[in-house]
């Protein structure tokens, strides 16, 4: 098979949506709409404009030119918000209009950029696997090639961006130590020790040779469990005591590793074929206060893909868009659209 022939099914799903967006771009000229807070029951001249736009984008199924914000529009607004990674509250506000006002030609460019990414992505595995999509701030866990569950994640901040790569998850560490990386030791821990002699004790830390580690426990920065897939970037999946961040719609806060909203759920999934690991035993291991390694052997090891997709078609057939959190789209756009060949050939 040619390296240029896309094998991932997302390519053709996006291509279908691309053709729809070309039609919208060809037939509609949309000026930016003013930002106004509106919700069900409101009446405003702007409502008919919102309905028209959502109808063409596929979120509203019927033509309706009235100015009444009704329950049908609420459902359409929620669907649009969900596709954009916004909180689906069914009300319009600054974030809603920011996404609604993105020009169609920019969405077309975004789709083309992601089609180019997917061109080099392997075929979707028919086995168990984990996909973390950085701009979506989500982890997707697949069983026998079918989606089993999704989970919110926190990824690296722009300054500490999570690396795009693949690996094999083969170890679970319950009640882990946090071996503090040299960069964090230098920037945060040593200055803390300099200011306060009790800094290490206060943060449940200790010297370990020439480095510092945080002892297992609920206050540990890795939480109660971590999941290892050996890689040169020293990136792994882990729990966190900072649960509030999972409620944010934008979740790029970490030093580069990936924090999980429901780590116990992932542990249960990975150990489900081993009858000795009951839910109770997993809970006990997470709260043991003593580090415990569990190796996943052979067929229980699971591929992990850390990807970067700002546009894709979801399980419901809806096209999604997300912000270019690390600027990778911008760099690719400079390469792809320096001349317009890709846009022309895709039509």
Catalytic residue among 233, 238, 318, 328: 238
pLDDT value, residue 1: 33
Domain 125-177+216-307, CATH class in plain words: mainly beta
Token pair of 344 as six digits: 């022309």
N-terminal to C-terminal alpha carbon distance within the chain? 24
Residues 248, 85: Cα–Cα separation, whole Å: 10
- The pLDDT of 61-78, averaged and rounded, is 95
- The pLDDT of 210-217, averaged and rounded, is 94
Token pair of 218 as six digits: 């609920």
CB-neighbour burial class of residue 48 (10 A; exposed 0-12, middle 13-18, buried 19+) = middle
Catalytic residue among 257, 297, 318, 328: 257
From edge to edge, which strands make up the β-sheet containing 211-214? 178-179, 211-214, 205-208
Residues 288, 174: Cα–Cα separation, whole Å: 8
Token pair of 122 as six digits: 């392997």
Contact in structure between 125 and 298 (CB atoms under 8 Å): no
Q: Is 105 a catalytic residue?
A: no
Q: Is the pLDDT of residue 345 over 70?
A: no
Residues 92, 49: Cα–Cα separation, whole Å: 13
- What pTM, to 2 d.p., does this model score? 0.90
pLDDT value, residue 340: 57
Q: Is the pLDDT of residue 2 over 60?
A: no
Q: Is the pLDDT of residue 4 over 60?
A: no
Residues 294, 296: Cα–Cα separation, whole Å: 7
**All CATH 1.10.101.10 domain ranges in the chain, comma separated:** 31-102
Confidence of residue 28 (pLDDT cuts 50, 70, 90): confident
The arrangement of secondary structure in 31-102, i.e. its CATH architecture, is: Orthogonal Bundle (1.10)
pLDDT value, residue 247: 86
Residues 12, 20: Cα–Cα separation, whole Å: 13
Name which of 13-17, 19-23, 249-253, 258-262 the model is least confident about. 249-253
Short-list 301, 295, 264, 298, CA closest to 281? 264
Q: Tell me the pLDDT tens digit for each residue of 293-327.
A: 999 988 899 999 999 999 999 999 999 999 999 99
**All CATH 2.40.440.10 domain ranges in the chain, comma separated:** 125-177+216-307
Name which of 143-147, 207-211, 253-257, 265-269 the model is least confident about. 253-257
Token pair of 85 as six digits: 């990674």
pLDDT value, residue 124: 82
H-helix or E-strand spanning residue 152 = strand 146-156
Q: Tell me the pLDDT tens digit for each residue of 89-142.
A: 999 999 999 999 999 999 999 999 999 999 888 888 899 999 999 999 999 999
Q: Tell me the pLDDT tens digit for each residue of 181-205.
A: 898 999 999 999 999 999 999 999 9
Q: Is the pLDDT of residue 37 over 70?
A: yes
Q: Is 238 a catalytic residue?
A: yes
């Amino acid at each position: 098979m040619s390296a240029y022939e896309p094998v991932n099914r997302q390519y053709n799903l996006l291509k279908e949506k691309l053709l729809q967006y070309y039609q919208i771009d060809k037939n509609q000229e949309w000026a930016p709409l003013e930002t106004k807070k509106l919700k069900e029951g409101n009446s405003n001249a702007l409502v008919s404009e919102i309905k028209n736009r959502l109808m063409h984008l596929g979120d509203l199924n019927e033509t309706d030119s009235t100015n009444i914000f009704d329950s049908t529009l609420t459902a359409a607004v929620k669907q649009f918000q969900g596709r954009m990674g916004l909180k689906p509250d069914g009300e319009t506000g600054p974030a809603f209009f920011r996404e609604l006002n993105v020009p169609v030609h920019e969405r077309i460019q975004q789709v083309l950029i992601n089609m180019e990414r997917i061109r080099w992505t392997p075929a979707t595995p028919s086995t168990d696997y984990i996909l973390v999509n950085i701009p979506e701030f989500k982890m997707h866990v697949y069983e026998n090639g079918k989606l089993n569950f999704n989970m919110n994640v926190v990824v690296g901040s722009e300054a500490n961006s999570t690396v795009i790569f693949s690996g094999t998850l083969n170890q679970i560490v319950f009640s882990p130590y946090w071996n503090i990386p040299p960069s964090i030791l230098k920037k945060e821990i040593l200055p803390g020790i300099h200011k306060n002699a009790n800094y290490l004790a206060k943060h449940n830390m200790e010297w370990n040779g020439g480095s510092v580690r945080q002892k297992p426990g609920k206050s540990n920065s890795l939480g109660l469990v971590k999941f290892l897939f050996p890689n040169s970037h020293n990136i792994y999946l882990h729990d966190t005591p900072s649960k509030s961040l999972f409620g944010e719609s934008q979740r790029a806060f970490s030093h580069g590793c990936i924090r999980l909203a429901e780590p116990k759920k992932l542990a249960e999934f990975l150990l489900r074929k081993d009858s000795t690991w009951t839910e109770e035993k997993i809970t006990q291991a997470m709260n043991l206060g003593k580090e415990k390694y569990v190796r996943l052997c052979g067929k229980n090891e699971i591929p992990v893909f850390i990807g970067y997709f700002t546009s894709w078609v979801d399980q419901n057939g809806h096209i999604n868009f997300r912000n270019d959190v690390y600027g990778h789209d911008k760099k690719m756009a400079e390469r792809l659209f320096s001349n317009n060949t890709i846009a022309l050939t895709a039509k």
